[in-house]
Amino acid sequence: MEKRPYRHISRVTKWTLPFFTFLLIAGCEESSQESQGIISIGGDITEIIYALGRIDQVIGRDTTSFYPESVTSLPDVGYVRQLGAEGLLSLSPDMIIASSETGPPEVVEQIRQTGIPFVLTEEGFNLAGLLKRIDMIGNTLEAETEAQLLSQEIIEKMRKIDEKLAAVSREPKVLFLMSASDGSPMAAGEDTAADAIINLAKGENIFASESGYKAYSYEALANARPDVIMMMEHSLASLGGIETIKEHPALGMTPAAQSGNIIAVDGLFLLGFGPRLPEAVAYIADRFHEGLGATKSIEE
């Protein structure tokens, strides 16, 4: 796909220059723009850029950006919340587009002081937040039409999922287990991406009365009697797999373990709140509600 130049404000007031000098500068700028690139910070940001057809302009990414797989060959500038200015500047980016989680703040400010455009997107573990991020990135990359079409597609898919979920009368009790490999299980409360995805798929988060991710005893988890246990794939692997949970002296007593309703999903797909949000919600909804057919409805 042909690259489109970014909005660019020259530091030289071109109209005050002689005509031929202006032509020379304009030609140099055009050549320069063809090689300009973006550093994308945040898995959802990278996915949006990809969905807008601008992934060929990305020259660097953070550790949480690994979809599409092709971006993993790009330079990794570090973890989204623990970036270093040196690593970012070493790629000589024309622009940085970043998640609201990007930090630390002093590094963000240091980059901004260099004059490199630093676009910080809005947060939000919901459909409205995702649509705002798509709109902002679309405007930034002069991909307004692509952004509008992408948003319309996502809205339509979510509408189809909601139609399916409207017939659901019972919400399963869900435990989202973040980690437990060190003996201190962490579970998701409200104000988390996990809580948001559970609600969108019409489940009941058993720890929604608490905020954020908190440590609980295994006895507390068992006493909550979840119908479903959700985990990220690497977290389940660190515990030893589904059979280990089924055989656990506490977790093994839960309805979820006894029925085998243990869901392990790629973390970026499940919690990223990027363009694949409808697919993630449909996937989880179909496992919360047997026979729902949400995934099939958005594929038709």
Give the model confidence (pLDDT) of 79-96 as tens digits.
Answer: 999 999 999 999 999 999
Q: What is the pLDDT of residue 183?
A: 65
What letter does residue 240 receive in the DSSP assignment? T
Q: What is the pLDDT of residue 102?
A: 96
Backbone angles phi, psi at 135, to 5 degrees: -65, -45
Q: Are residues 73 and 128 in the same domain?
A: yes
Q: Is residue 295 part of a domain?
A: no
Is residue 31 classed exposed, middle or buried when 0-12, 13-18 and 19+ CB atoms within 10 A define those classes? exposed
Q: Are residues 19 and 132 in the same domain?
A: yes
Give the model confidence (pLDDT) of 111-135 as tens digits.
Answer: 999 999 999 999 899 999 999 999 9
Short-list 296, 129, 125, 99, CA closest to 200: 125
Give the model confidence (pLDDT) of 170-219 as tens digits.
Answer: 999 999 998 765 567 899 999 999 999 999 999 999 999 999 999 999 99
Question: What global pTM score does this model have?
Answer: 0.85
Evaluate whether 182 touches 239 at the Cβ level (below 8 Å): no
What is each CA distance from 182 to 211, 239, 265, in whole angstroms? 22, 9, 21
Q: Are residues 205 and 135 in the same domain?
A: no
Q: Which helix (H) or strand (E) holds 175?
A: strand 173-179
Q: Are residues 126 and 256 in the same domain?
A: no
Q: Is residue 294 part of a domain?
A: no
Q: Are residues 123 and 44 in the same domain?
A: yes
Query: What is the domain range of residue 142?
Result: 14-157
Q: Are residues 94 and 42 in the same domain?
A: yes
Q: Are residues 148 and 197 in the same domain?
A: no
Q: Are residues 19 and 153 in the same domain?
A: yes
**Residue range 145-162: mean pLDDT, rounded:** 98
Q: Are residues 29 and 96 in the same domain?
A: yes
Q: Is residue 104 part of a domain?
A: yes
Distance CA 207, CA 176 (A): 9
Residue 78 pairs with which residues in a beta bridge? Answer: none
Q: Are residues 76 and 131 in the same domain?
A: yes
Q: What is the pLDDT of residue 21?
A: 34
Rounded to 10 degrees, the C-alpha dihedral 146/150/153/154 comes to -170
Is residue 56 classed exposed, middle or buried when 0-12, 13-18 and 19+ CB atoms within 10 A define those classes? middle
Evaluate whether 147 touches 52 at the Cβ level (below 8 Å): yes
Coil/strand/helix, residue 166:
coil
- pLDDT band at residue 66, thresholds of 50, 70 and 90? very high
Q: Is residue 285 part of a domain?
A: no
Question: In this structure, what CATH number is given to the domain that contains residue 226?
Answer: 3.40.50.1980
Sign of CA dihedral 224, 229, 231, 236: positive
Q: What is the pLDDT of residue 195?
A: 97
Helical axes 43-51 vs 127-140, angle rounded to 10°: 60
Q: Are residues 112 and 20 in the same domain?
A: yes
Total domains in the chain come to 2
Q: Are residues 142 and 228 in the same domain?
A: no
What letter does residue 212 receive in the DSSP assignment? S
Checking DSSP bridges between strand 213-215 and strand 204-205, what pairing results, if any? unpaired
Distance CA 130, CA 58 (A): 20
Give the model confidence (pLDDT) of 15-45 as tens digits.
Answer: 333 333 333 334 444 433 444 699 999 999 9
Checking DSSP bridges between strand 228-232 and strand 262-265, what pairing results, if any? parallel
Q: Is residue 283 part of a domain?
A: no
